């Protein structure tokens, strides 16, 4: 669940005045101001809401909706912790291999979305890979705790776990709202789709409420709703994956009503000797891939951006290009370990000039 992307937002204010009708004056629109609120309690990451609104009270009311939904999705999609009265993914991984488990409809919706993504990416983004990812997580945590004893998971252990990653073994009964794992050793891990999907669902709730001129940055999953208050595009900096560089951001992009998500090898990793092992695991090799150091996606749907960034990280450049060009209104940028950058056909139009 942890793709982290730094964002830069310009500070601007909008003042809109309506004209006057011939019969009676139309009231002036209330000027919008910029407000910001941050959270650290959800999806094991920092989140920031930036909005242009008519008052602090209006902004706080929208943030209350956002926080309630963040808490809801965070608890449902957590694979590491249990919550009282919630049959979440942690509970599913423990119990769904024994018998069908009654779940919230937002878990079923996520699994259905995940299946669509699995088909779209030819299995490169697979939420049923939890058995393999759990092994890497445990070795990474141990390695970060004690660098000198860090180890790479044995291949035979990874291969054994990979035998229990068939997404078809996740049996969904929508009518009864239950999930059953036909393979009792299967485990789910929605790190590649959960945060992005939740961000998108929250953005849609706000849009249906008529909210405009907001941006959600949920641990690097950026989803904009409309423009900034003055009608211009939101601007975000894409982090340089080379953390030793003095250049914090590779470039800046301007966008509205779109999501921006980056998957990178610089986000979660550990060292075994001099070799770095990051958290994005290729379903074919069962090991991290080093073809790219980062892949950034621009597309209207945050869930798709999250999932496709992971898939493109594990695909070749040619395969990734083909995938991106097949998805409407979607662009991508690939960064190789040596700093070489590749763009999809329409990405460069979003690049902003240096300040």
pLDDT tens figures, 95-125: 999 999 999 999 999 999 999 999 999 999 9
Name the nearest CA neighbour of 164 among 137, 190, 188.
188
CA distance 103 to 321: 37
CA distance 314 to 299: 19
Q: Residue 196 is encoded by which pair of tokens?
A: 């992005």
Q: Residue 56 is encoded by which pair of tokens?
A: 């602090």
pLDDT at residue 24 tops 70: no
CA distance 40 to 72: 15
What rounded mean pLDDT belongs to the chain? 91
pLDDT band with cut points at 50, 70 and 90 for residue 147: confident
Indicate the range of 22-26, 79-83, 97-101, 128-132 predicted with least confidence.
22-26
Q: Whole-prediction pTM value?
A: 0.90
CA distance 225 to 227: 7
Query: Is the CB of residue 213 less than 8 Å from the CB of residue 32?
Result: yes
CA distance 148 to 145: 9
Give alpha helix (H) positions in the chain. Answer: 56-77, 89-95, 105-120, 130-145, 155-162, 194-208, 302-314, 317-326
Give the residue, 41 or 22, on which the prediction is more confident: 41
The predicted structure's pLDDT at residue 4: 37
Query: Is the CB of residue 76 less than 8 Å from the CB of residue 107?
Result: yes
Count the neighbouring beta carbons within 10 Å of the beta carbon of residue 214. 25
Count of all residues that appear for the chain in the document: 355
Name the nearest CA neighbour of 58 among 214, 200, 202.
214
Strands 249-255 and 351-352: antiparallel
The predicted structure's pLDDT at residue 66: 98
The predicted structure's pLDDT at residue 267: 84
The predicted structure's pLDDT at residue 1: 38
Count the neighbouring beta carbons within 10 Å of the beta carbon of residue 159. 11
The predicted structure's pLDDT at residue 136: 98
Place of tokens 């690939």: 334
The predicted structure's pLDDT at residue 28: 56
Place of tokens 């942890």: 2
CATH number of 1-19+27-355: 3.10.520.10
pLDDT band with cut points at 50, 70 and 90 for residue 156: very high
């Amino acid at each position: 669940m942890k793709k982290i992307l730094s964002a830069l937002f310009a500070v601007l204010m909008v003042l809109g005045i309506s004209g006057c009708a011939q019969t009676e004056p139309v009231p002036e629109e209330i000027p919008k101001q910029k407000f910001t609120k941050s959270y650290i309690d959800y999806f094991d990451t920092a989140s920031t809401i930036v909005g242009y609104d008519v008052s602090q009270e209006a902004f706080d009311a929208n943030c209350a909706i956002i926080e309630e939904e963040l808490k809801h999705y965070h608890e449902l999609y957590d694979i590491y912790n249990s919550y009282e009265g919630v049959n979440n993914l942690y509970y599913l991984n423990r119990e769904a291999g024994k018998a069908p488990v009654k779940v919230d409809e937002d878990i079923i919706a996520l699994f259905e979305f995940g299946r669509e993504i699995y088909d779209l990416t030819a299995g490169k983004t697979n939420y049923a890979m939890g058995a393999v990812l759990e092994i890497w997580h445990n070795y990474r945590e141990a390695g970060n705790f004690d660098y000198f004893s860090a180890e790479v998971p044995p291949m035979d252990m990874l291969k054994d776990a990979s035998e229990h990653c068939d997404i078809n073994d996740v049996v969904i009964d929508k009518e009864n709202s239950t999930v059953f794992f036909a393979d009792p050793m299967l485990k789910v891990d929605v790190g590649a789709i959960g945060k992005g999907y939740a961000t998108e669902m929250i953005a849609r709730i706000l849009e249906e409420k008529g909210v405009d001129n907001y941006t959600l940055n949920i641990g690097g999953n950026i989803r904009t709703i409309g423009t900034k208050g003055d009608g211009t595009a939101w601007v975000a900096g894409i982090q340089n994956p080379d953390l030793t560089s003095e250049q914090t951001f590779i470039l800046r992009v301007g966008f509205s009503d779109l999501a921006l998500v980056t998957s990178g090898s610089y986000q979660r990793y550990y060292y075994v000797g001099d070799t770095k092992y990051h958290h994005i695991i290729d379903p074919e090799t069962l090991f991290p891939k080093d073809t790219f150091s980062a892949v950034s996606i621009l597309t209207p749907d945050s869930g798709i951006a999250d999932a496709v960034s992971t898939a493109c990280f594990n695909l070749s450049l040619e395969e990734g290009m083909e995938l991106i060009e097949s998805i409407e209104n979607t662009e991508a940028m690939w960064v190789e370990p040596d700093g070489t950058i590749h763009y999809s056909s329409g990405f460069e139009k979003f690049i902003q000039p240096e300040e």
